[in-house]
Amino acid sequence: MNVIITGGYGFIGSFVSERFYKEGHRIYIIDNLTTGQKSNVTIPHKFYRMSVHDLNCEQLFQSISPDVVIHLAAQVDVVTSVNEPHADTQSNILGLVNILRCSHKTKVKKLIFASSAAVYGPYEKISLKEDMVCGPVSPYGINKYLGEYYCEKWKELYGLKTLCFRFSNVYGPRQGSKGEGGVVSVFMERIRDGKELNVYGDGGQTRDFIYVEDVVDAIYRGANSEEVTGVYNLSTDTETSVNQLIEIIGSLKETGKVNYLDSRPGDIYRSSLDNTRVKRDLDWAPIYSIQNGLTRTFEWFTQSFAPIREQTKEGVKEYVRDDNRKVKDELQRFSINAKISIGRIHGIIKALESTVPEEIIVSSVSVLSNLMETDKISVYAVNESDFLRIAIKSNATDFNLPKTIRLSEHPNLHEAINSGKLFVNKTMNADLPTLAAPISYEGKAVALVSVHEPSLDKINPDYENLFELSIDMIAGSLSRAFRYVGVTRKERYVDETKVLSPAFFEQVLQIRISAKQRYNSDYVLLDIDSTNRNITALANLISGNLREMDSLGMIKERLVLLLSNSNKVEADSVIQRLSEHGIRATIINEDQLYVRESTI
């Protein structure tokens, strides 16, 4: 069969891809890479980087003629759905409707939709059955419930066979910290790294945890069953408390302190789903106990992150080099047409072998200038606001850009960030870059990278593909650096603050000095008066005034704030804001940083 898997590079999708391939089917993956990782899937397949709400999906479906579609692409975080209901609806409703439309038009035999236990809403009873009244309380649950309705209607109106699985709390290898099973991965990471655990409530609250390979087995059986359609719970019908979860993981590695905090408003205390129907109709049963599943998951977490736990610089660089070999191979294949020399490829890869996020951002300018053969590259930092702030840009003559961009005034760039897709300036609008694409980490855009004014003869599909490949490479390096920051947090930061320790702050400062020399990227240092002040409390106050590329750190017992891409006028504005919080700050230069060393 031809099998299209949306979200195929994600946690569940990658396991689904492997299972169907092993059973002899041809795999086609649609993923926009906002949360999925290409490295999750190693079996032969064809990949299409696009969002599920993209209308071009229809053309793709027509070229593939899929027999089965497994729709797993979704926004999976309940909190995000509450804070950004529009984004949740775009992914979980508009995306589904588009996939349903494409499936109907190309005569797909069956579509499987990933729904959720969130459709039920708060119930005091457990072992919930499919025929119970649903009362979802979050946009995520509402949209999953509405998605089931769309699937049912497409079956009634167009004869498209649809099967909706209401997943309980899925967990397993490759899982991120968001979504309904995220508590497992959060605990795994913290125990692995020797950190304390935070439990909201008394730990007696229960969930119905199901191992990812049991989920995949049910999906595979459902795809091969002509009769089974409609809505089914997919669960173990077994309660496991948070305390039991900690006890089992603790048997794999000693746990640190467990902090029991106040319960969060709206949290359901007990939860499980009845699985009688799915066991009967698909001749399926979960085979992984919670003990077995957690053991397999913990083994993956420890093995997956083992290379970057090495504390030596060379050990970390070897990890980065190993992970970059796939990118290097892909670049070399591309170089046949793009005429990129092996020497240039080596230089490009070396430029991104860093474990410091700030250094990768700065290096991305030279990497893209080298690959794209242009001296006009920009990188803007992305945050939750409507404004983008310049992080770094090329130092080309007559290449002037605003320090901030208001997204609401540039809908094309806003769409590129939200969709994770490449923007191509086909109208050659002088106010927009020629090419732009976001760099994402854990599903959120952290930067917008752009190419400005390349030679007109270079603008073609190959040039666009090279830019996308470059963005993937930079994003991969940045992701590894962020992960390394996580596992070295104790050494990197002072206590539990956002204050960099002297060695790491010195590292960031040298990167900014280099950026000023190479790209004329301004920065300002502020000496923070910490006399008779609690550093933790002071750092928390200052953090609210930090931008994405700013850094707070210690140098010779001085608390110093590094303002990236700032001049003295902008620094004066920051000083004024800090003074309103009772914080005294003064501008200093690098030479003044070490004055205290000679007076101690």
Q: What residues are annotated to the active site?
A: 140
Give the H or E element holding residue 200: strand 197-200
Buried b (16+ CB within 10 A) or exposed e, 396-422: eeeeeeeeebebeebebbbebbbbbbb
The DSSP annotation for 196-237 comes to -EEEESSS--EE-EEEHHHHHHHHHHHHT-SS--EEEEES--
**φ, ψ for residue 274, nearest 5 deg:** -70, 135
- Tell me the one-letter amino acid at 93: I
With beta carbons less than 8 A apart as the criterion, state whether 61 and 109 touch: no
Residues 6 or more apart whose CB falls under 8 angstroms from that of 221 comprise 282, 283, 284
Q: Are 197 and 187 in contact (CB under 8 A)?
A: yes
Give the β-pairing of 206-207 and 240-241.
antiparallel
Angle, helix 95-105 to helix 57-64, in steps of 10 degrees: 40
* Two tokens, residue 73: 């692409």
> Rounded distance, CA 566 to CA 403, Å?
9
Residues in the chain: 600
Spatial CB neighbours of 265, under 8 Å, sequence gap ≥ 6:
none
User: Which residues of 251-385 form beta strands (DSSP E)?
Assistant: 258-261, 377-381
**3-state SS string for 517-556:** HHHCCCEEEEEECCCCCCHHHHHHHHHCCCCCCCEEEEEC
Distance of CA 459 to the CA centre of its chain: 30
Helices assigned H by DSSP within 429-546: 461-487, 489-492, 502-519, 535-543
CA 411, CA 424: separation in Å to the nearest integer? 13
Burial of 375 (0-12, 13-18, 19+ CB in 10 A): middle
- Alpha carbon separation from 413 to 372, 381, 405, 492, 518 (Å, rounded): 20, 13, 10, 34, 27
Q: Would you say 187 and 27 are in contact if contact means Cβ atoms under 8 Å apart?
A: no
Quick one: angle between helices 461-487 and 357-372, nearest 10? 170
Token readout for 167 is 């997943």
Q: Which helix (H) or strand (E) holds 361?
A: helix 357-372
d(CA 67, CA 559): 62
Burial of 82 per CB tally in 10 Å (0-12, 13-18, 19+): middle
- Can you read off the two tokens belonging to residue 323? 């992970």
DSSP-derived 3-state class of residue 307: helix
Q: Are 171 and 181 in contact (CB under 8 A)?
A: yes
Token pair, residue 500, equals 């960099």
48 pairs with which residues across the strands?
Answer: 30
Instruction: Give the Cα separation of 266 and 122 in Å (integer).
Output: 8
